[in-house]
Amino acid sequence: MTTVSASPFTGLDAERFATHLAQRSYLPAWWIAAKQEAWNEFNSLPMPSRKDEHWRFANLKGLALEDFQVPEDHSSLVPRLPDFPQASEIIFSNCQVVGRTGLPQELADQGVIFASLDEALRDHSDLMRKHFQRHPVQLGGQKFIALNVAFAASGTFLYVPKGVKVDLPFVVQHTLSGDRQSIFPHTIVVLEDQAEASLVEFFVSGDTKSQLASGVNDLHAGQNAKLTYVGAQNWSDDTLSFQANSIHAERDAHIQCLNVHLGGRQARHESHSRLAGPGSHCDMLALTVAKEAQEFDQRTLQTHQAPHTTSNLLYKNALIDTAKTIFSGLIVVDPDAQQTDAYQTNRNLLLSDKAEANSLPGLEIQANDVRCSHGATSGRVPPEQEFYLQSRGIDPAKAHELIVFGFFEEVLSRLDNEQLHTVLSDLIQSKFKKS
Amino acid sequence: MKSLEIRDLTVALTESPDQPIVKGLSLTIKTGEVHAIMGPNGTGKSTLSKAIAGHPDYKVTSGDVLIDGVSVLEMEPDERARAGIFLAFQYPAEIPGVSIANFLRAAEQARLADGENVDAAAYYKRLYSKMDSLKIDRKFTSRSVNEGFSGGEKKRCEILQMAMLEPTFALMDETDSGLDIDALKIVAEGVNNLRGDNLGVMMITHYQRLLDYIVPDFVHVMYDGRIVKSGDKSLAIELEAKGYDWIKEEFATASA
């Protein structure tokens, strides 16, 4: 008799993927096929290389995936979700639903769907299929998007029918716990014409272990719809994080996206907004606190495909210690997209001499009657501000914190939801407390 | 009674420590006293106040500054502030995005022991009452510190901070500059309300005008980095009538 000593890790390998699929044989065939295709794509795509402009300045060694495994169980320790008024919430721990509040009957009666991926695949397969990866992001991270699709098990489908307006935000929390565990959240938000809704997602680690997260969003706003999406990422400081955000706006749609980036050893965020219908508008906002040796890599694309479209990107990074940020953004205005107003601004506040902020703004304009601008600034904390605060008895660390909050306020104040403003401020503040 | 003792103090710019600006100045301010420091431009008045507050651009090359016999020179600016020193700036910094309410609350929080928290209700009550007495619109609490303020608003905001933080020693650097007569009266009234046994004031000014409203106990004339003449209020009146030239001549003769 021979004994085979099993490796404690079942990595992201073919065997593991086969098991993943086999466990999901009850799901629709199109979903299984999409996963299989994504798995093939993941394997055929090379890892990012030094020659790849999409990954300029990024730490490529940090992207190694070998050691991570797909979690089979969930932790019972789920960090508490900030308490604020909401329409409904779903809480995932590793890939399983561990908590949720029911959708108010009034919303269910109007046809609103707020469901985990598995539920949505069971009950609304066709609707979900129509919008799943309809406009994939192609900003260099396709391999990680493929990995997400291959292993996606946790995630949410929010669907708001035509003309339905939901005031309170929908809330999702993804929690990841355990050493070398990984998570692949996939979020699909569909607002039909004239619908209004907001979704807030929290991405948090239940411990400080080394983890892998690759998340994907498909956000879709129909004609004259109003969508607010907030993603607050606070993984452990030893997490490799990847997030791809696809935004699609039809005629006169209004989309506001805010991403808060706090956690991760190395966190990449790709965001592509498509202003597909005339009169559509998108705000792309981001706030990052980068400290110690963290690297935050943000790649954006604003595509104006129709006339009278507007987009406004404002990414603000506060850098502490030896942290590093990369911002690379592009505005593309198609020939037909006359009277486009497009702005792209990246501001970096350096709180340390050793921090590194890289900025690569860009424009590609094919129409002749447009207003576009891009700008990037990096600056130290003005010494007179520092001294002024200290002269009132505020210690240097707290003074920096106040200055960072002041710096961020321009973005946070754009949120209509006061409670959410407070929740995000508290979350950002927690980063200054943990050290 | 407490004392702020400036002992034979020499101060230079940090970047050029060999060129002193304040040159061996001595002065003791006790709580309950208001000392006016007058003098022509460029004699080191502002440098003196910033050096006492711990501004990093200035270096004390000799001498000492002591509160009740304890030197503050090894303290960081925030520690000096918590030890009781308050600098009312000639040109207060603008802090975008930080509201006055949050800023002052952080300053009050900094004075509490670990684990203690500012009582928000009591804090706002106190803040509003101080604002009312300084005729500052309550809407200012949500405005960013000094951002877009007029000269008069900035100075009133300095006095508001002083009223809230209740320092032991206030160093007021040209608080009257840029103020019209109405603003000057409000500021002076604010300072007069704070005067008393628990506060010592060092008031730097070019002009005697301020001293009509905040009557000093002592007047010192500063010239070339030193105090060259001290007296009471009548010295300020004399300066107003005769200008500074006679001081310069007297000083030139004395040092010749």
- Choose the mutation target among B90, B91, B95 for the interface with A, i.e. most A CBs under 10 Å: B95
Out of A404-413, B115-124, B177-186, which region has the weakest mean confidence (pLDDT)?
Answer: B177-186
Selecting from A387, A398, A410 the residue whose C-beta is nearest the C-beta of B56 gives A387
- CB within 8 Å: A387 and B55: yes
The whole-number pLDDT of residue A75 equals 56
How far is Cα A147 from Cα A152, in angstroms, rounded to an integer?
A: 8
| pLDDT tens digits, one per residue of A122-181 | 999 999 999 999 999 999 999 999 999 999 999 999 999 999 999 999 999 999 998 999
Selecting from B87, B94, B96 the residue whose C-beta is nearest the C-beta of A391 gives B87
| Cβ–Cβ pairs < 8 A, chains A and B | 84
The whole-number pLDDT of residue A66 equals 82
Q: Which long-range contacts (CB under 8 A, 24 or more apart) does A83-86 make?
A: A84/A419, A84/A420, A84/A422, A84/A423, A85/A168, A85/A419, A86/A168, A86/A169, A86/A170, A86/A171, A86/A200
- CB within 8 Å: B93 and A385: yes
Any idea where the domains of chain A sit in the sequence?
A: 14-383
Helices (H), chain B: 45-53, 77-82, 100-109, 120-133, 151-165, 181-194, 209-213, 233-242, 245-255
Q: How confident is the model at residue A5 (pLDDT cuts 50, 70, 90)?
A: very low
Q: In degrees to the nearest 10, what's the CA dihedral of A198, A374, A262, A230?
A: 0
- CB within 8 Å: A393 and B111: yes
- CB within 8 Å: A410 and B97: yes
ipTM entry: 0.96
Shortest Cα–Cα distance, A398 to chain B (Å): 8
Any idea where the domains of chain B sit in the sequence?
A: 3-255
- CB within 8 Å: B97 and A384: no
Chain A: residues touching B (Cβ < 8 Å): 382-385, 387-396, 398-399, 402-403, 405-410
Shortest Cα–Cα distance, B104 to chain A (Å): 8
Name which of B211, B111, B234, B197 is nearest B161 in CA terms: B111
Selecting from A398, A403, A408 the residue whose C-beta is nearest the C-beta of B95 gives A403
Selecting from A384, A393, A410 the residue whose C-beta is nearest the C-beta of B93 gives A384
Average pLDDT over residues B242-250: 82
Selecting from B92, B94, B98 the residue whose C-beta is nearest the C-beta of A402 gives B98
| pLDDT tens digits, one per residue of A50-83 | 889 999 999 998 998 888 887 765 555 677 777 8
**Structurally, what CATH architecture does the domain formed by B3-255 represent?**
3-Layer(aba) Sandwich (3.40)
> Which residues of chain B make contact with A402, given a CB cutoff of 8 A?
95, 98, 102-103, 106
> Which residues of chain A make contact with B81, given a CB cutoff of 8 A?
390-393
The answer to whether the CB of A233 falls within 8 A of the CB of A261 is yes
The whole-number pLDDT of residue A73 equals 55
> Which residues of chain A make contact with B149, given a CB cutoff of 8 A?
none
CB crowding A152-165: b at 16 or more within 10 Å, else e:
bbbbbbbbbbeebe
How far is Cα A290 from Cα A320, in angstroms, rounded to an integer?
A: 6
How far is Cα B84 from Cα B92, in angstroms, rounded to an integer?
A: 19
| pLDDT tens digits, one per residue of A421-431 | 999 999 999 88
Selecting from B56, B95, B144 the residue whose C-beta is nearest the C-beta of A388 gives B95
Q: Which two tokens stand for residue A166?
A: 């939901």
